[in-house]
């Protein structure tokens, strides 16, 4: 009997010890949860500093990178403690035509590139060269939203904004032509120019900007496509005799972001980044003066202008846009048709 009571007492003691332990455990857990919640709330309001890795599809010394550099430097000053951009480099870090894969896979967070360089992950991207309304208008009329829907759904890429506009493309040649006919000429292209140059009779070879100088120097090509500005960054004026006017389409260079990286930002960081991108876009008018300055610089460098007659110019431009859209509509009927409605209002 005595023994039984003692056993019972031990059991009671153990039970009460267990109860105490459990209570303590619950208290500790509750305290940790509260601490975690406080920390979570703190993080949500003022996230830890996030650094985004940025790569450029153009070489470091190009005008687009220099322009963007001023932007990310200001962003880094204003974003201390919240958001920073670390510029990793140009095509030496990620080859020009690989930037799409890199931003899609999240190898980098941010990429600056024209659509033409990431058609391997999103063929539709090249269609942005056909826009005839400004990016500001695209934001107002729903085009920007639609672009983002497609870019995010098809490629996991956020289209943050476009920071190059008012830069028509031109044909640069080392052989004279008398009319819109490129028969017998071999020209360097990207998807921007491929269809229209071929339609005008040219043979084409695709290269990244970094390979154009050597192709010209060795006489592998008779000319190339490029916007009105930027040829001096690559020293191509040394191997360029003519520019053909008028220019056509509009060089589109944009900032892209990996969707996962975007989703990992807290709302405050996203708002900050969007505000910075809008400030960058608000500067796009500078490209108009840059276009004039570069045309003058080309003139001074001895580059002669081959000017189509007004009739030739009109049919060349109509053809360029028709061919550009036809190619995209054939490849991606639904998206390209919608894009065409949204971004080509003037014609």
Angle CA(202)–CA(329)–CA(249) in degrees, nearest 5? Answer: 55
For ligand 173, which residue of 209, 223, 247, 324 counts as binding (CB under 6 A)? 209
For ligand 173, which residue of 190, 258, 276, 284 counts as binding (CB under 6 A)? 190
- CA torsion sign, 273 to 279 to 284 to 287? negative
Taking alpha carbons only, the member of 190, 188, 189, 53 closest to residue 115 is 190
For ligand 173, which residue of 116, 196, 216, 335 counts as binding (CB under 6 A)? 116
223 forms part of the interface with ligand 173 (CB under 6 A) = no
- Can you tell me the distance from the alpha carbon of 324 to that of 116, in angstroms, rounded to the nearest whole number? 12
Query: Least distance in Å: CB of 135 to ligand 173?
Result: 14
What does DSSP say about strands 223-227 and 169-173: parallel, antiparallel, or unpaired?
antiparallel
Q: Which stretch binds ligand 173 (CB under 6 A): 38-46, 101-109, 223-231, 275-283?
A: 223-231
Query: Least distance in Å: CB of 310 to ligand 173?
Result: 26
Q: Which stretch binds ligand 173 (CB under 6 A): 21-29, 37-45, 219-227, 334-342?
A: 219-227
For ligand 173, which residue of 90, 123, 227, 324 counts as binding (CB under 6 A)? 227
For ligand 173, which residue of 72, 146, 159, 226 counts as binding (CB under 6 A)? 226
User: CB-wise, 110 or 253, nearer to ligand 173?
Assistant: 253
Q: Which two tokens stand for residue 194?
A: 């491929």
User: CB-wise, 104 or 188, nearer to ligand 173?
Assistant: 188
Kindly state the number of chain residues that form the binding site for ligand 173, as judged by CB under 6 A: 10
For ligand 173, which residue of 65, 244, 251, 265 counts as binding (CB under 6 A)? 251
Under DSSP, the state recorded for 47 is P
Query: Least distance in Å: CB of 29 to ligand 173?
Result: 57
Query: Least distance in Å: CB of 291 to ligand 173?
Result: 12
Q: Which stretch binds ligand 173 (CB under 6 A): 35-43, 155-163, 220-228, 335-343?
A: 220-228
In the chain, which ranges are continuous DSSP H helix?
2-45, 63-78, 99-105, 135-140, 143-155, 191-199, 212-217, 259-264, 267-281, 286-300, 310-331, 333-343
Q: Which residues contact 288 (CB under 8 A, 6 or more apart)?
A: 166
91 forms part of the interface with ligand 173 (CB under 6 A) = no
SS3 289: helix
What does DSSP say about strands 186-189 and 203-206: parallel, antiparallel, or unpaired?
parallel
- Can you tell me the distance from the alpha carbon of 257 to that of 190, in angstroms, rounded to the nearest whole number? 22
Residues interacting with ligand 173, by CB under 6 A? 114, 116, 190, 192, 209, 225-227, 251, 253
């Amino acid at each position: 009997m005595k023994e039984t009571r003692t056993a019972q007492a031990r059991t009671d003691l153990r039970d009460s010890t267990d109860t105490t332990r459990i209570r303590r455990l619950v208290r500790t857990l509750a305290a940790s949860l509260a601490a975690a919640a406080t920390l979570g709330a703190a993080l949500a309001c003022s996230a830890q500093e996030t650094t985004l890795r940025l790569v450029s599809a153009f070489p470091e010394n190009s005008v687009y990178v220099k322009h963007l550099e001023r932007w990310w430097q200001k962003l880094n000053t204003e974003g201390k403690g919240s958001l920073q951009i670390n510029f990793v480099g140009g095509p030496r870090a990620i080859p020009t035509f690989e930037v799409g894969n890199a931003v899609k896979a999240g190898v980098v967070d941010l990429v600056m590139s024209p659509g033409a360089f990431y058609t391997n992950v999103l063929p539709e991207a090249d269609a942005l060269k056909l826009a005839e309304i400004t990016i500001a208008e695209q934001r107002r009329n729903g085009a920007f939203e639609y672009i983002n829907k497609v870019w995010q759904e098809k490629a996991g890429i956020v289209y943050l904004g476009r920071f190059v506009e008012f830069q028509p493309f031109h044909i640069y040649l080392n052989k004279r032509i008398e009319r819109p006919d490129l028969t017998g000429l071999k020209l360097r292209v990207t998807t921007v120019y491929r269809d229209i140059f071929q339609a005008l009779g040219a043979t084409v070879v695709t290269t990244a900007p970094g390979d154009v100088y050597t192709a010209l120097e060795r006489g592998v090509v008779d000319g190339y496509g490029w916007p009105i500005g930027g040829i001096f960054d690559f020293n191509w004026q040394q191997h360029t005799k003519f520019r053909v006017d008028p220019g056509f389409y509009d060089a589109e260079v944009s900032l892209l972001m990996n969707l996962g990286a975007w989703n990992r930002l807290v709302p405050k960081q996203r708002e900050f980044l969007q505000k910075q991108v809008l400030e960058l876009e608000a500067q796009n008018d500078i490209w108009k003066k840059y276009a004039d300055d570069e045309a003058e610089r080309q003139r001074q460098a001895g580059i002669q202008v081959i000017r189509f007659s007004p009739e030739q110019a009109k049919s060349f431009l109509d053809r360029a846009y028709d061919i550009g859209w036809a190619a995209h509509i054939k490849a991606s009927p639904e998206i390209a048709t919608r894009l065409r409605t949204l971004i080509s209002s003037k014609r």
